[in-house]
Amino acid sequence: MASTPRVSVLVPCFNEENAVDETIHKLDAALSPLGDFEIVAIDDGSVDRTLERLNALATRYSRLRIVEHDRNRGYGAALKTGMRHAASDMIAITDADGTYPVEDLPRLVELSANYDMVVGARTGSDVTYSKIRKIPKYFLHRWVNWIVNLKVPDINSGMRVFRKDMAQKFVRILPNGFSFTITITISSLRNNYRVRYEPINYYQRTGKSKIHPIKDTLRFLQIIGRTGMYFAPLRILAPIVVLLGLATTASLAHDLFVLRDLTEKSLLLLVSTFNVGMFAMLADMIDKRSQV
Helix axis angle, 213-231 relative to 180-190, nearest 10°?
A: 20
Q: Cβ(228)–Cβ(282) under 8 Å?
A: no
Q: Cβ(6)–Cβ(34) under 8 Å?
A: yes
Q: What whole-number distance in Å separates Cα of residue 242 and Cα of residue 238? A: 6
Distance of CA 12 to the CA centre of its chain: 14
Mean pLDDT of 101-108: 95
State the amino acid at position 126 in one-letter form: D
Cβ neighbours of residue 258 closer than 8 Å, sequence gap 6 or more: none
Q: What whole-number distance in Å separates Cα of residue 263 and Cα of residue 14? A: 58
pLDDT category at 209 given cuts 50, 70, 90 is low
Checking if the pLDDT of 210 tops 90, the result is: no
pLDDT category at 218 given cuts 50, 70, 90 is confident
pLDDT digits (tens, 9 = 90+) for 162-190: 999 999 999 989 999 888 999 999 999 99
Q: For the chain, give every domain's residue range.
A: 8-231, 233-290
Query: According to the model, what pLDDT value does residue 1 have?
Result: 47
Query: According to the model, what pLDDT value does residue 7 have?
Result: 96
Does the domain at 8-231 match CATH 3.90.550.10? Answer given as yes
Checking if the pLDDT of 15 tops 90, the result is: yes
pLDDT category at 84 given cuts 50, 70, 90 is very high
Checking if the pLDDT of 95 tops 50, the result is: yes
Q: Cβ(91)–Cβ(170) under 8 Å?
A: no
State the amino acid at position 176 in one-letter form: N
Q: Torsions phi, psi of 110, nearest 5?
A: -60, -40
Strand extents, DSSP E, the chain? 8-13, 38-44, 64-69, 90-93, 117-121, 160-163, 195-199
pLDDT category at 292 given cuts 50, 70, 90 is very low
The rounded mean pLDDT for the chain is: 91
- Per DSSP, the residues of 143-162 read HHHHHHTS--S-SS-S-EEE
Query: According to the model, what pLDDT value does residue 178 have?
Result: 82
Mean pLDDT of 97-104: 94
Q: Are strands 38-44 and 160-163 parallel, antiparallel or unpaired?
A: unpaired
pLDDT category at 2 given cuts 50, 70, 90 is low
Q: Torsions phi, psi of 46, nearest 5?
A: -60, 145
Query: According to the model, what pLDDT value does residue 162 have?
Result: 97
Q: Torsions phi, psi of 8, nearest 5?
A: -110, 120
Query: According to the model, what pLDDT value does residue 193 have?
Result: 96
Q: What whole-number distance in Å separates Cα of residue 254 and Cα of residue 260? A: 8
Q: What 3-state DSSP class applies to 15?
A: coil
Mean pLDDT of 34-44: 94
Greater pLDDT, 261 or 25: 25
pLDDT category at 213 given cuts 50, 70, 90 is low
Q: Find the angle CA(191)-CA(158)-CA(21) to the nearest 5 degrees.
A: 150
Which of 140, 232, 160 has its CA nearest to residue 192?
Answer: 232
Q: Torsions phi, psi of 259, nearest 5?
A: -85, -20
Q: Cβ(110)–Cβ(198) under 8 Å?
A: no
Q: Are strands 38-44 and 8-13 parallel, antiparallel or unpaired?
A: parallel
